[in-house]
Structure 1
Amino acid sequence: MSDERVIKQYGKLSRRMEKRFAIRHPKVTGPRLTPGMLTSHQAIEGGVVAQTQNASIELRLIRPNLLAVRVRSDGTFPERHSYALDPEFDPMPPPINIEDVASGIQLDAGAMRVHLDRQTGQLTITLPNGQVASQDAAGGLAWNAAGVSWTRHLPVGERCHGLGERATGLNLRGRLFTLWNTDFIDYQRESDPLYFSIPFYLGVHHDYAIGVLWDNPGRGAVDLGKTTPDRMQFNAKSGDLNFYVIADETPQAVLKSYLELTGKPPLLPMWAFGYHQSRYTYMPSDRYRELATEFRQRQIPCDVLHFDIEYMDQYQIFTWDQQQFNDLPQLLQDLRRKGFKTVAIIDPAVKHAEGNEAFASGQAVDAFHRYPDGELFIAPVWAGESVFPDFTKPATREWWADHVAAFIQRSGFDGLWNDMNEPTLFMPKVIVGTVPDYITADWEGQGSTHHEGAHSVYGMQMARATRTGLERATPAARPFILTRAGYAGAQRYCGTWSGDNTSTWDHLRLSVSMTLQMGLSGMFFTGPDIGGFHGTSNAELYARWIQVGSMLPFCRTHTEKDTPDQEPWSYGPEVEAIARQYLGLRYQLLPYIYSSYTHSIEEGIPLVRPVFFADPQDQKLFEQDDTFMLGDALLVAPVMDAGVRSRDIYLPRGVWYDFWTGKALEGGQTIHVDVPIDRMPLFARAGKLIPMWPLMQYVGEKPVEEIRLRVYVGDGESAFYEDSGEGFGYQQGDYRWAYFTAKHTPEEQRFTLERRIAGDYEPTYTKVRLEIVGVREEPDEILVDDEAAAIWFFETPAIEILTESLQSVRLEGMFEPFEDDADSGAETLQSRSDLS
């Protein structure tokens, strides 16, 4: 690690360079320029270019519900590379009607109407029903030498979401957030900014939603009514006014369009959804062997072990310590035989030293950032004096990918964990800093500076290059990559986690709101360090954290150096049993979680989502961030306060079933439930089907011979996706969807379930165990594919049917399930699912 002498030397150098190269932002007085009066306009594909007194405004409808806005004061619209947009995005402008009316210019694409005011150049966006989705405030589009901004009215009742990683509640309204990725040491609630800034805003109403992608990666901020309660503003200190507005009837529709614009997350390997264990640091090699043996002997499911920074040789990337990990490739093979995948941390900084191959080869392709005068930028970080790759340069990404591929092939790691990529470096007094604003960047050959955008995209472009490297090393395997920092569009390459959190109850609560917020920003695979990274957890806190963590997309325990042990068995037998129970449940739910994640990618709905997605018309759901949906079937109500043994839960409208007991509950009301230390409330939606596997200790431990399909009596539709869980056969059609339709007709005492299959994938199982929950009395007749079921048994509150063929099921003469005492099967559902 860098010593104090090196850090102080850099501090002195930094002050000298600041005097030479610092970007001087002019002091500007008076109001910013605005477009002014409209003077003329010209039709273009999908829109118009309007000339005003002070600027040219390009308005282009690139989807029926998606408007692209660019403003230039010099009248030109040069092509500028965007890292946010998916390179494969096809604009496909819809047919539009352009009208020159008395008040201005109007564009109508059917799903969205855009009005540009003749007198002021202000924008108004309206939905087909006449609802105003967005209206510029006075001085809406504005600029001067100090930067650019766009200000819109913030309507009463608009809930504010998105913007990436924010350590606060679910509704961001009334706050101001910085757009600048930062390694915030020991962050707490309301700390800002954090590691992962995404300039995408989602405004939600009960009957419409609006999304804004501010495609300006320069240092900026978003004011969500803090300065003026009814105004929202995006601003940046450099760059152009360049943004996209999506308006539609639901947040789901807005998010789907956002992912079409910026790219969908890739399918992850199934093992990525298993349990991950980590700490800073396990060493030497035999400690990992002991850890692996402990997991298997204690029968606690686990798929992945992580290697933090001390596996390296003196913190140098692409190396490993020859004393502590002299047998690293053999170690990884030994772990693989026990069913463990391995993930290694890797930082961007390259040690500046003769004899360091990564430095020498990087120099040969001019891979590293430089000062404006061409001198190499060198700064201290873990390995001491280091240089920083410029990932906006194609040659750098190629060089990095080659080194990643070679490292993976030499070592045998299965995935990589990109850290310190805000990027972070060490500074005197402030502990950590970042690359100075004036450092130059290639920006795909167009030229830029750290301040103008290279900082914002640094982490995502590192992840992009890392992904390319993994694809080269193991072309038959789906890459697994985590990044600490990122920008809009990073979901195309990787997942993330909530950084270096702390072992407190408030951070447990933040785990939920931050995961939800990242999902609403397009990052679907994310989660916290279970138990907390900084500080010391305790038995109750870890028990509650492993419960909620078991229901989040990324499920990993991680902790800091020199903290007490933080494995699932570290807090005594009671907590160990709780961890075993909830991780066991996660592994049984893996087909549901994996299928729901795939559905999320297709439909643009986060895997873990706020409960208002269950019923956007219910105003009571909008402020709730102490419950959440996992997919569309499960509602999770974690316990996030010390000593709590009962809690209130507001259920969305409709019928819900207690997952543990099978008891049916009417929604649209608040219920009070007991929550002993081993119980986290879970509820399943009536009419939904949840696929479950037999309990395994890791993905692929044994072939799945029988699948459990648990359906809850009611009306609903479910979709179940399957593929091999690894590789890319699904891209050639080796997958299948099963579509289920459940229908309950109480007046006829009938429940039916129908299945339709599309796709060529053939799963390993041949037996289906259908579990119908919500059956109070034995039915008069049970039909499978229109014939009497051969093998079935009944015990309140469920009936089980074993079959090898399933196109339809019908129960005749069944009960009306909504009775308060229908909990006699409290232990039945647990034992049937092997949860006890």
Structure 2
Amino acid sequence: MIIKSPFRTRVNGLFCAAISAVLLSQVAQAVKRDEFKTTEEIAFYRRHQAFAETVLQAEPASQENSSEIPHGASPYTVVGGSVHLDGHTLIATVQHASAKVPLRVEVIFLKNGTVRVRAQEENPLLPRYDDTQKHVLREEGNNLEYASANDLDHHYRIVNGVKVHTVRYTNDHSAFSVRITEDPWSLTYLQNDKPIIELNSKGFFHLEHLRPRPDPEAIGDDISGEWKETFLLFTDNKARGPESFGMDINFIGFEHVYGIPEHATSLSLKTTNKVNGGYDTPYRLWNLGVFEHELDDPIPLYGSIPFMAAHNADATVGVFWLNAAETLVDIAREKRSGVDDDLSVVNTHWVSEAGVMDVFLMPGPSVADLYRQYMSLIEPTPLPREFALGYHTCRWSYLDQEDVLTVSEKMHEHDIPYDVIWLDIDYTDGMRYFTWDYSKFPDPVAMQKQLAHDGHKLVTIIDPHVKRDSSYRVWKEGNENGYFIKNNTNTRNYDGWCWPRESNWVDYLNPEASKWYGEQYHFDKYPDTTADLFIWNDMNEPITLRMPESTAEKDVKHYGGWEHRHVHNLYGMLNHKSTFEGMLTRESPRKRPFILSRSYFAGSQRYGAIWTGDNTADWGYMRAATPMVLSNNIAGMHFSGADVGGFFGDPKPELLTRWYQLGIWHPFFRAHSHRYTKRREPWLFGEPYLSIMRKAVYERYRMIPYWYTLFREASLTGIPIVRPMWMEFPKDSDLFAEENTFMVGSSIMVAPALDSDLTKPIDVTFPSQENWYNMYTHASYLAPIKRRFVVDLAQTLVYVRGGSIIPTRERQRRSSAFMKQDPFTLYVYVSRNGTASGKLYIDDGESYDYEKGAFIEREFVYAEDKLISRPSPLTVESPEYRTFSDKMSKVRIERIVMVGLITQPTVATIRESDVEREISLDYGNCRTGSDCVVCNPAMCIGNDWEITFN
């Protein structure tokens, strides 16, 4: 293999020296492509591509004209007589025509319609890594609800000489069936007898069985890369040999697929075959810190969630490929001849380097059904700390204690509310995490107390690399207890470089190491920290400078003897989990932690938030932020956002202002910048920018009740918090690829300004047979309709769907902490048919008392000129509920704004606690003639009440 000279120079120069100021001071230019593998440099993927080409060139099976027989020429067949139903599992033995190694294929039926398909050798030479399920699935996979054997009907018949097995069953919504063909082996998932997902219909299924290591001389150069593989100056010695597997998964009747983050690509995933603007390389799932990453590129970034959704006007289905090894996904589109017309098909080819093939097929058919199925596997996003929904300000780095407190005071001086200020690596003593540089931060506790006095929190960064220093307590304890990842011979610690120079990495697969690491966050271990300090886990892909692709080599060893190749994509999630568990146990009674992680995997949503990584101060990166955040939400990683303003570079005032206006509508809202950029706190830009950015931040705080209620919904249902338009309007095909306009919950549509040209119009599609209202002017639009708007810098296009009731808190405070006892305002946006509904959820925002009933959850319904507040069905009259209700008894509703009334009522009658009173209505301060305001109705937020408009 050719060694590329730029990397040789880099190895011999920059990386062999100390991490220099040159590295730290780089600004965004372009990704250094020669430091990352191309498709041709990934041996296991090359082998599977060659296998697929062979299959495509072979003669199809003779039964190709049968609709029940796949048309691929797969060499894998079911061993005759091996298929049998054992409880909720259909088991078959499958083998390659020439290899003759028996593979055990299990088709497992879950109660909700999900089908799990697993494959590995019946008698593997070595165990395959199969603990991904332990770390990802709900309660380690021990709490999945399986279908009852009595509900499964298994039968077979002969079709054109080939045995076809069918298992039928029903759930509450649809009749499902799975059809397995023996020769060649394939699986079709049908909903109401209509195929929706096919496995191996192209014949790409291939599992490289484990085998004895050949004589070293026989390996030779090993150009196939089965036993060793070289990239640049590094050789990956594969002690286990080839163990990859791949399969085609095809979505029948679909044109659009989504998900598999994280990539800076379009929301509707492109093909990977250069057709119609597609890519010429697959989507790669391999967590990497790609410095200065580019746009519209399937290069892998910081996180990986192997979940893909497909949507058409009739159904939404999903596939979850449960594997933490390097995985590549190819996408192609085709038309098949159908009964009435050509059928759209999205063909995907998934290839993983190692582990057990373990894939879940989720049939939907609705969006709600799909997320109910998906979250039954991985658990939904829990309720976060309420302060985490506020405005975060971050920089690499705020210089010292004085700088932190000055920034905080400037925020107050300019009336900008914020909740959290962040510290990057420079607060530490020589990059030794869990320490302070007291020359910069002489009294961290006093600093935290000063911030807390004004309702603010502090976040400090803790990276997973541990400085190799015998005088450093954390390293010394980790080393003495054997808690670090080992080298490829498993004889000593794996040594690498990161910000502290020589470093070691905690092995989170070791339960004792993970527990020990989490305990470092306890107050007695992390000195000068208080309950108002929270954590940022960065560089946890993991980043190891001087290594290929700046991450750990694949052959280094983890607990249990597993190689890094088996668990790489889990590493950041396990770091996140360990931190979460440590923060959870640092105080009693327990409080909800807040932790931000850069790297993530399926399951990370249980432990905190993520962001999209090191973006750039450029309009293109701002445009990319929304599809990236939406892709994460589709894949279940709901609490996500992008660095407002861009991490690299210096944004112009117009760009920064527009980014604030957009960032407030992403779940995680943080401004962040590189150390060598200019300071960019809003007041530094003067007017009109300061006022516009301040107004955007106010809007975020005004809407916190709505955001928190959305997180409550997500915690119960798994439904994304921010949603692509198609999720709310599933039959409107014009919206299937829409990625700029998006929904926040089911009620709010955001159409951000994404261009530097203020004269460039913004096209907005108002979908559905419904009224839409401008959130700020209350101007209404009768949908379906398309409109074009030109807006100045102070304007944003945010619309509320008719039929929605939105709760807000309107008083301007320094932080969310000072809003706890503020009154609420309800905005009732009347639908075309004169109705509206909404919810409000409140708890203490920090403890787990809500699990015992300590919350208020109200349902609001407007119909037939009457507005009613009633408790949600989840409200239980427990002691904890009564205690919390008493605490909130003075919290009132101070205004109700009725928007879109057809006639103007003259008076309203309020009935609360069996007491009636009349209240006047205000028309003098309304925004349109169809509005009216109920001023100071003064109902307690936790009480039942109704208002009748006469």
Give the residue type in structure 2 aligned to 1:464.
K
* Mapped contact 2:364–2:373 kept (Cα < 8 A): no
Paired residues, number = 789
Q: Deviations over 1:185-232 (max 9, x none)?
A: 101213411001111111112211221111121111111228998521
Identical positions, percent: 25
- After superposition, where does 1:663-678 map in structure 2 within 5 Å? 663-678=779-794
Matched AA of 1:165: E
Deviations 1:235-269 (A, max 9, x none): 11222221111111123321232122012222111
1:85 aligns with 2:137: yes
Match of 2:90 among 43, 48, 54: 48
| DSSP 3-state at the match of 1:150 | strand
- In the TM superposition, what whole-angstrom CA distance separates every residue of 1:382-417 from its partner, at most 9, and x where no partner exists? 001000111111011011011122455632252111
Q: Which residue of 2 aligns with 1:427?
A: 546
Corresponding position of 1:820 = none
Which stretch shifts more, 777-786 or 568-577?
777-786
Partners in 1 of 2:402 and 2:648 — Cα distance?
A: 25
1:474 matched residue in structure 2: 587
User: What is the distance in 2 between the residues matched to 1:382 and 1:132?
Assistant: 49
Instruction: Identify if the C-alpha distance between structure 1 residues 741 and 34 changes in structure 2 by more than 3 Å, giving closer, same or farther.
Output: farther
Partner of residue 739 from structure 1, selected from 850, 854, 859? 859
Q: Decide whether aligned partners of structure 1 residues 617 and 326 sit closer, same or farther in structure 2, where only a CA change above 3 A counts.
A: same
Match of 1:411 in 2: 529
Distance 1:322 1:593 in 2: 38
Q: Tell me: CA distance 1:692–1:230, structure 2 relative to 1, closer, same or farther (3 Å).
A: closer
Contact 2:325 2:566 in 1 (8 A): yes
* One-letter identity of the residue aligned with 2:153: I
- Residue type of the alignment partner of 1:652: P
Map of 1:832 onto structure 2: none
Match of 2:932 in 1: 799
Report what 2:147 is aligned to.
Answer: 94
Partner-residue secondary structure (3-state), 2:137: coil
CA distance in 1, matches of 2:262, 2:329: 13
One of 645, 650, 657 as aligned partner of 2:765? 650
Which of the residues 559, 574, 598 maps onto 1:461?
A: 574
Q: What secondary structure is seen at the aligned counterpart in 1 of 2:85?
A: strand
1:7 maps to 15
Q: Distance in 2 between the 1:79 and 1:421 partners?
A: 21
The residue correspondences of 1:511-530 to structure 2 (distance < 5 A) are 511-530=625-644
- Give the one of 573, 580, 592 matched to 2:706: 592
**Is residue 129–residue 354 contact of structure 2 (8 Å, CA) maintained in 1?**
no
SS at match of 2:290: coil
- Contact 2:444/2:528, CA 8 A, preserved across alignment: no
CA distance in 2, matches of 1:405, 1:797: 56
Whether 1:552 and 2:666 are equivalent positions in the alignment is yes
Q: Distance in 1 between matches of 2:199 and 2:128?
A: 27
Is 1:113 the counterpart of 2:177 in the alignment?
yes
Task: Sort the Cα spacing of 1:205 and 1:168 in 2 relative to 1 into closer, same or farther, 3 A.
Answer: same
Deviation at 1:5, TM superposition (A): 7.4
Alpha-carbon distance, 1:726 to partner: 1.4
CA distance in structure 2 between the partners assigned to 1:649 and 1:800 by the alignment: 29
- Distance in 2, matches of 1:26 and 1:576, equals 51
**Which stretch has the larger CA shift, 32-41 or 500-509?**
32-41
Partner residue, 1:185: 291
- C-alpha distance in structure 2 between counterparts of 1:725 and 1:203, whole Å: 35
The 5 Å alignment of 1:676-695 reads: 676-693=792-809, 694-695=811-812
Give the structure 2 partner of residue 502 of structure 1: 616
Deviates more, 1:123-132 or 1:781-790: 781-790
Distance in 1 separating the partners of 2:248 and 2:538: 35
Query: Counterpart of 1:116 in 2: which secondary structure?
Result: strand
Q: CA deviation at 1:234?
A: 1.1
Scaled by the length of structure 1, what TM-score is found? 0.90
List gaps (5 residues or longer) in structure 1: 12-21, 744-749, 813-836
Answer yes or no: is the 8 Å Cα contact 1:478–1:726 preserved in 2: yes
Cα distance in 2 for residues equivalent to 1:23 and 1:778:
69
C-alpha distance in 1 between matches for 2:601 and 2:909: 53
1:171 is matched with which residue: 264, 268, 280? 268
Larger deviation: 170-179 or 284-293?
A: 170-179
The more displaced of 143-152 and 685-694 is: 143-152
The structural deviation recorded for 1:592 is 0.7
Work out whether 1:782 is the aligned partner of 2:908: yes
Measure the CA separation in 1 of the matches of 2:574 and 2:551: 16
Match of 2:850 among 727, 730, 737: 730
CA distance in 1, matches of 2:107, 2:45: 30
CA contact (8 A) 1:196 1:484 kept: yes
SS at match of 1:737: strand
Q: Relative to structure 2, which stretch is displaced further, 525-534 or 126-135?
A: 126-135
Q: 1:67 aligns with which of 99, 115, 121?
A: 115
The residue that corresponds to 2:217 in the other structure is: none
Distance 2:898 2:193 in 1: 42
The match for 1:808 is 946
The corresponding residue for 1:141 is: 205
Partner of 2:224: none
Please, which of 312, 318, 321 is the counterpart of residue 211 of structure 1? 318
Gap change, CA 1:598 and 1:639, over 3 Å in 2: same
Q: Please report how far the alpha carbon of residue 99 of structure 1 lies from its aligned counterpart in structure 2 after TM superposition.
A: 2.0
- Corresponding residue number in structure 1 for 2:31: none
Match of 2:233 in 1: none
CA distance in structure 1 between the partners assigned to 2:326 and 2:485 by the alignment:
18
SS of corresponding position for 1:233: strand
Shift, 1:141, TM fit: 3.0
SS in 1 for 2:165: strand
1:385 aligns with 2:533: no
Q: Is 1:771 aligned to 2:897, yes or no? A: yes
User: In structure 1, what is the Cα distance between the partners aligned to 2:685 and 2:14?
Assistant: 41
> What one-letter code is carried by the residue in structure 1 that aligns with 2:539?
M
**Is this contact kept in 1: 2:302–2:541, CA < 8 A?**
yes
Counterpart position of 1:279: 395
Letter in 1 for 2:853: G
Q: Distance in 1 between matches of 2:819 and 2:755?
A: 39
Moved over 6 A (4+): 2-6, 22-27, 76-79, 226-229
Cα pair distance change 1:408/1:107, threshold 3 Å: farther
1:579-658 equivalences in 2 (<5 Å): 579-645=693-759, 646-653=761-768, 654-658=770-774
Tell me whether 1:485 sits opposite 2:485 in the alignment.
no
AA aligned to 1:457 is: L
Identify if the C-alpha distance between structure 1 residues 331 and 26 changes in structure 2 by more than 3 Å, giving closer, same or farther.
closer
Letter in 2 for 1:106: T
Change (3 A) 1:783 1:492: same
> Is residue 346 of structure 2 the alignment partner of residue 241 of structure 1?
no
Q: Distance in 2 between matches of 1:523 and 1:593?
A: 16
Distance 1:511 1:640 in 2: 11
- Which residue number corresponds to residue 825 of structure 1? none
2:825 is aligned with 1:718: no
Partners in 2 of 1:301 and 1:586 — Cα distance?
10
* 1:528 Cα offset (Å): 0.6
Cα RMSD, aligned residues only: 2.6
- Alpha-carbon separation, structure 1, partners of 2:152 and 2:652: 63
CA distance in 1, matches of 2:771, 2:619: 31
d(CA) in 2 for partners of 1:502 and 1:547? 17
1:585 is displaced (CA, Å) by 1.1
